[in-house]
Chains A and B, each alone.
Chain A
Amino acid sequence: DTEVTQTPKHLVMGMTNKKSLKCEQHMGHRAMYWYKQKAKKPPELMFVYSYEKLSINESVPSRFSPECPNSSLLNLHLHALQPEDSALYLCASSQEPAGMSGSRETQYFGPGTRLLVL
Chain B
Amino acid sequence: GQNIDQPTEMTATEGAIVQINCTYQTSGFNGLFWYQQHAGEAPTFLSYNVLDGLEEKGRFSSFLSRSKGYSYLLLKELQMKDSASYLCAVRDQDTGGFKTIFGAGTRLFVKA
Contacts and interface: CB of A to CB of B under 8 A. Distances in A.
Interface of A: 33, 41-45, 48, 50, 55-56, 58, 88, 90, 97-99, 101-112
Nearest to B105: A42
Contacts of A112: 42
Contacts of B42: 88, 90, 109-112
Interface of B: 30-31, 33, 35, 41-45, 48, 50-51, 87, 89, 91, 93, 96-105
Shortest beta-carbon contacts, A-B, top 3: A99-B30, A42-B102, A55-B97
Contacts of A43: 43, 87, 102
Contact of B98 (A42, A58, A99): A99
B100 to A, nearest CB: 6
Contacts, number: 65
Nearest to B47: A106
B101 A45 contact: yes
Which of B51, B98, B105 counts the most chain A CB atoms within 10 A?
B98
A43 B48 CA distance: 17
A48 B96 CA distance: 10
A42 B104 contact: yes
A86 to B, nearest CB: 14
B99 A99 contact: no
A99 B93 contact: yes
A50 B97 contact: yes
Given A48-B99, A55-B96, A56-B96, A99 B91 contact: yes
Which of B35, B41, B97, B102 counts the most chain A CB atoms within 10 A?
B97
Which of A45, A55, A99, A104 counts the most chain B CB atoms within 10 A?
A99
